Amino acid sequence: MNSKRWQRIAFAACLCAIPWIGTATALVMGVFFSLLIGNPWPRKTARFSKIILQLSVVGLGFGLGLDEVIRTGRDSVVYTVVGIGSTLMLGHFLGRVFKTDRNTSLLITFGTAICGGSAIAAMAPVLNAQDDETAVALATVFTLNSVALLLFPVIGHLLRLDQAVFGTWAGLAIHDTSSVVGATSLYGARALAIGTTVKLTRAIWITPVVMGTAVLRKTGQKAGIPLFIIGFVLAATARTCLPQYGRYWGELSALAKECLVVTLFLVGAGLNRDVLGRVGVRPLLQGITLWLMVSGLTLVALTFVGIH
């Protein structure tokens, strides 16, 4: 039996184990599988992980009331705007300090400020970024995302953060939706609900930032609100307007959480040697420094200044 077939069998065996493991275990298992055995379907898993993640986010909406979504989104608007603006300015400054390639620096900054890979993908055409510049930015953000999913819950427990503060912190300071949902699901149901809503509120800013940059650069690039965010709001609306079907909404929400575990395994399986090889020293230093500063300042604001 050739090595490729063994890889596929092992990959299928890991997927069969998904119902009995948690989100963090799934991510770690995916990373180790990819680095030690090798992902037999890297392109397919990358595509399916995005699809399953978006469906999972929509499904999580069935577990929340519309009033909770609106309240959390409204309460997070001010520090979302302040956080995004501050991150963009700080990222621009750090790009010059570390002398990172201009487009790569901007893409890492946008990814950190707004929504990780989604923001990078939306912004790349506006900047006329080359494939290698986009790849380096994605690899940098992807690597930090994997670290955040595992590190944030540990820090939260060490500092004894309540679920509301932790969910808000994760939603504001972690790059991608997958890692926000993964980290908050490890922390608790309330943290998951708040973190997901705050993160999606933050992701909406992809549209105005991309359009504003396009106007400044005169590229004519357009961007719309991601459909899975609309689906999340519609799911919460359905739960609120049709409470008699609460049992089914709960089952859909539970299914979404199981799908999230699959997503994180696929995300981990995408962190291969090629991805790590694309991350240069300067972009990585910029990405780490920016992320640590944003995470630290956000946590200080939430816990000591009293922004809740």
Both tokens of 39, joined, read 């992902």
pLDDT at 178: 78
**CA count, 13 A, side-chain hemisphere, 151:** 12
Which value, to the nearest 10 degrees, does the dihedral of the CA atoms of residues 265, 267, 268, 270 take? 130
Instruction: Answer whether 29's CB lies under 8 Å from 264's CB.
Output: no
pLDDT at 83: 83
pLDDT at 308: 47
pLDDT at 44: 80
pLDDT at 209: 77
pLDDT at 224: 59
pLDDT at 6: 66
pLDDT at 22: 65
**What is the three-class DSSP state of 23?**
helix
Weakly modelled stretches of the chain, pLDDT under 70: 1-4, 6-10, 12-24, 73, 75-76, 131-132, 217-226, 271-279, 305-308
- What is d(CA 252, CA 229) in angstroms, rounded to the nearest whole number? 17
